[in-house]
Structure 1
Amino acid sequence: MGCYHFHLNQLSRGKGQSAIASAAYRAGAKLECTYYGEVSDYTRKGGVVLAEIHLPQQAPERFKDRETLWNEVEWIEGNKKAQLAHSFDIALMNEFSMEENIELARRFVEEQLVARGMIADLAIHDPKKAKDKIPNPHMHIMVPIRPLQEDGT
């Protein structure tokens, strides 16, 4: 039987969070934050099955690059207590194959976020299952707090 989990919160500089560090963790990537002058390296993190950015039509192509996207968000949101991004954490179905879960995740992102003009940074995790534990495939989605304007700004 499926396990339902859908959590939404905001990443906030006021809570000591960084969009770059959060994106690096979710993607299992190494990203440099030009706002703080720090590097977040999660390339050794296991279990990242997929990491991709989905853009609406009006978005500049440069936002396909995760480091570029989240550095721009960090600089635009200059306030020391700024909210940087919406962060989704959603369980995927153990009863589905990983390919079916990936298709489900992409469809959700395209229909519910990108179709509404939002940029979505999608990552799917399938962590190693601990002995006698239920598998925990899940997706993370980060969406910049500010909506993208028609002119792509």
Structure 2
Amino acid sequence: MAIYHCSMKPIARSGGRSAVASAAYRAAEKLTNERDGLTHDFRAKQGVEHVEIVLPDGVDAEWARDRSALWNAAEKAENRKDARVAREFEVALPHELQASERIALTRAFVQELANRYGAAVDFAVHSPHGASDVRNHHAHIMMTTREVTPGGLGDKTLIERENKWLLSNDLPT
């Protein structure tokens, strides 16, 4: 029987984190953060089964399918030293499913997030590693805090808006 787990947390500068570094680690890639010049190289990381960037249906923003361009744009869009630059979800995936089914399940969830919030969503499906439980299949999902557009990142997504703004726009908090 599968055990469900889903957590959500911000990736914020106040915690010393960067969206570029986080994306590089989750996707096992080498990315350079243009804001601070640091290169994050995680190509030796094992257990990354699949990586993909999903955009909202109907949004033609091919630039955002490039991981470096996407997360550097997220860093550039925020000015504050304590800015929230991304939102991360970690989701346990049923080990009873085949690898292709876990990817399809994650892709469906991620597409729903992208469509609901108008954001670009980057996901990586990880397999269990030597020291962990052999059933520990999971996905790391990173979502932009701003809507993705053909020309770059736009307004904050609704999940990032303050209650005061939501209420003034007749939206639920």
Map of 1:46 onto structure 2? 46
Map of 2:87 onto structure 1? 86
Quick one: distance in 2 between partners of 1:136 and 1:14?
Answer: 30
Name the SS of the counterpart of 2:10 in structure 1.
strand
**TM superposition score normalised by structure 2:** 0.81
State the percentage of identical aligned residues: 40
What is the CA deviation profile of residues 20-61 of structure 1, one whole-angstrom value per residue up to 9, with x for unaligned ones?
A: 000000000000000010000000000000111011232521
Name the SS of the counterpart of 1:2 in structure 2.
coil
Quick one: distance in 2 between partners of 1:64 and 1:58?
Answer: 12
> For the structure 1 residues 128 and 150, does the alpha-carbon distance in structure 2 shift closer, same or farther, using more than 3 Å as the test?
closer
Structure 1 unaligned regions, length at least 5: none
Quick one: distance in 1 between partners of 2:15 and 2:99?
Answer: 34
Contact 1:48 1:124 in 2 (8 A): yes
Contact 1:13 1:83 in 2 (8 A): yes
Structure 2 unaligned regions, length at least 5: 155-173
Contact 2:61 2:151 in 1 (8 A): no
Q: How far is 1:78 from its partner?
A: 1.5
**TM superposition score normalised by structure 1:** 0.92
Larger Rg: 2
Amino acid at match of 2:92: A
1:104 paired with 2:99, answer: no
Map of 2:131 onto structure 1? 130
Quick one: distance in 1 between partners of 2:150 and 2:30?
Answer: 31
Q: How far is 1:135 from its partner?
A: 2.3
Map of 2:162 onto structure 1? none
Contact 2:64 2:70 in 1 (8 A): yes
**Number of matched residues?**
151
Instruction: Say which structure, 1 or 2, has more relative contact order (CA 8 Å, 6+ apart).
Output: 1
Q: How far is 1:147 from its partner?
A: 2.6
Quick one: distance in 2 between partners of 1:58 and 1:130?
Answer: 41
Contact 1:46 1:127 in 2 (8 A): no
Runs of 4+ deviating beyond 6 Å? none
Quick one: distance in 1 between partners of 2:100 and 2:150?
Answer: 33
Name the SS of the counterpart of 1:50 in structure 2.
strand
State the superposition RMSD in angstroms: 1.7
Quick one: distance in 2 between partners of 1:127 and 1:105?
Answer: 16
Map of 2:7 onto structure 1? 7
Quick one: distance in 1 between partners of 2:130 and 2:5?
Answer: 18
Contact 2:119 2:145 in 1 (8 A): no
Name the SS of the counterpart of 1:101 in structure 2.
helix
Contact 1:59 1:148 in 2 (8 A): no
